[in-house]
Chain A
Amino acid sequence: MPSICSLRGNHYYVGFTEFISYGFIQRALLAGTLIAVLCAVLGVFLVLRRLSLIGDGLAHVTFGSVAIALYLRINPVYVTVAAIPLVLLSSLGILKLTDKARIYGDAAIGTVSSLGIACGILLASAAGGFNVDLFSYLFGSILSISSTELVISVGLFGVVMLVVALFYNDLFAITFDEELAKSSGIKTERINAVLVLLTALTVVLAMKVVGIMLISALLILPAVSALQISRGFRTTIAVAAGFAVFSVVSGIFGSFVLNLPTGGAIVIINIFLFILAFALKSLKGVKGEG
């Protein structure tokens, strides 16, 4: 499997055409773009509903799920798929805890998230420590994405985007005001479940792009950047997707050229985009006042 490390000696001599001719780069760009779009689309709903940290919580659960998969010696290619059921269940667990135990969403996220991390640590300890695989899940390894993982990403991208499209109006309604949506006969509990399940799927996919530690950044930052400058809900989603794709593509390219970790590079680019969007908004505000 080619990696950034194996290219360390000659990366300055690789032109753009050659860069995109590598199979691993093509796979990384395609999977990264699809996952970036998913994170941006769901991120807008989550940020506006003050559920931003659910990505972080589910990422921690993903850590526990990955630890279980590695402990059971599941083929690394299928670790993503193996993690899905537990993360989906945990996302519903967060909703149930909020609803039935009458605790606030952030406390429910914290509870489930701690459970995920604790299970991961216990399993890692029981197995006498894992090899470098776990590290790649924690910090991402998009350049090592396999063809099988790409196929899984394309399939899940299709599923998530189809469900978002089908439930778009209801998701928009609960994002505007959940109680008003409920008074219109919308089954808000069902739509909330759809949103967290889609987020769970996306978090598992995004693990490969930026790693468990930075997933929430890919969910939050494109959305908050887009919210600085966008007018209209659909426009916000489109701008967030644009920011996310730009950050992932330039992050892959930049990390390749500068020999940096891709996940970290993607997040730093997102931070710059946010600063840029915020400055643009502030500039507009100053002009408007003037």
Chain B
Amino acid sequence: MQVDLLNVEGLCFGYNSMEVLNDISFGVKAGDYLGIVGPNGSGKSTLVRALLGLVQPGRGSITLFGASQAYFAEWQKIGYLPQRLKFFNPNFPGTVEEVVRLGLLAGKKFPKTRTKGDDEAVERTLALMGISEIGRRLIGELSGGQQQRVLLARAMVSEPELLILDEPTTALDPETREHFYGLVRDLNREKNTTVLLVTHDTWSIGKYATRFLYLDKKVIFDGTFDEFCRSPEMTGFFGEHAQHQICHRH
């Protein structure tokens, strides 16, 4: 039996007295491309932050690669791309190569020294992302699209088994967005990288994801996109017009 890479059971979370996540349960298997969608304030980003240990859930459990999240240590197996960097200083003087190399720290033991293999991995990943030519440029000098590709390269450089993307294309123009999703699809299909994509963009989910999870503080739907579109329950929940719009944008 295939073990879930990620398993969430009965997860609850609230800020002060406001409920954000209520009894969330789902699993992700190796090779899945899971799309998580939901309206603003539905708890999507909080769920991602809980998975990564950035917030502590009030109740429930998270298991990563068979280990409880609290004791999980193999962070090199997970690549994370946030919607935006919370503390990023645009004057940060680091080059693209230096930033991408950060993605290799998770797998290292103290004192985390740099090796020749690290440089090769960075070079390989920059080539994979098609950004080798900007390796020596400063991260702060790049456009939003280029920065996002650099951060994806940072997330990918350790060749993670699970890639968590939190609304990664919000700041991108449609052409760059399409290219970005193409890259992630190739990683999923060719390298069997498991992808968990949080987005507002149901069109992208329909086009690329193999599974679809609709979240609105609780799990409203968990299944394939086709199952969602054929589900009478979802027609009842969203109304025929809204469901049609979601399902026929791709």
Q: Using a CB–CB distance below 8 Å, which chain A residues touch chain B?
A: 48-50, 165-167, 169-170, 172-173, 175-186, 227, 230-233, 235-236
Contact = CB atoms under 8 A, between A and B. Distances in A.
Interface of B: 52-54, 72-73, 75, 80, 82, 85-89, 91-95, 98-99, 102-103, 105-106, 108, 110-112, 114, 136, 138
B86 A184 contact: no
24 contacts: A50-B89, A166-B110, A169-B108, A169-B114, A170-B105, A170-B112, A172-B94, A176-B88, A176-B92, A176-B94, A176-B102, A177-B85, A178-B87, A179-B82, A179-B85, A180-B80, A181-B102, A183-B53, A183-B75, A183-B82, A184-B102, A184-B106, A185-B72, A231-B136
A169 B105 CA distance: 8
B98 A172 contact: yes
Given A176-B88, A232-B93, 11 more contacts: A165-B111, A169-B114, A172-B94, A172-B102, A177-B87, A182-B54, A183-B75, A184-B102, A185-B75, A231-B93, A233-B94
Contacts of B138: 231-232
Contacts of B75: 183-185
A169 B106 contact: no
B102 A48 contact: no
B118 to A, nearest CB: 10
Nearest to B86: A179
Query: For the complex, would chain B's binding face be called helix, strand, loop or mixed by DSSP majority?
Result: loop
A169 B115 CA distance: 13
B95 A231 contact: yes
B13 to A, nearest CB: 17
Contacts of B92: 48, 175-176, 233
B52 A183 contact: yes
Contacts of A233: 92-95, 98
B70 to A, nearest CB: 12
Contacts of A235: 93
Which residue, of B93, B99, B106, B136, has the highest number of chain A Cβ atoms within 10 A? Answer: B93
Contacts of A184: 75, 80, 102-103, 105-106
Nearest to B139: A176
B111 A166 contact: yes
A182 B53 contact: yes
A169 B112 contact: yes
A100 B54 CA distance: 16
Nearest to B111: A166
A173 B102 contact: yes
B121 to A, nearest CB: 15
B93 A236 contact: yes
A178 B105 CA distance: 14
A167 B94 contact: no
B78 to A, nearest CB: 8
A236 B102 CA distance: 18
Nearest to B98: A233
A180 B85 contact: yes
A53 to B, nearest CB: 16
A179 B86 CA distance: 7
A207 to B, nearest CB: 28
Contacts of B111: 165-167, 169
B86 A177 contact: yes
Nearest to A231: B138
A186 B80 CA distance: 14
Contacts of A169: 102, 105, 108, 111-112, 114
A178 B92 CA distance: 13
Nearest to A232: B95
Contacts of B87: 49, 177-179
B93 A180 contact: no
A232 B73 contact: no
A49 B111 CA distance: 22
A176 B99 contact: yes
Nearest to A178: B87
B105 A173 contact: yes
B94 A183 contact: no
Contacts of B52: 182-183
A114 to B, nearest CB: 27
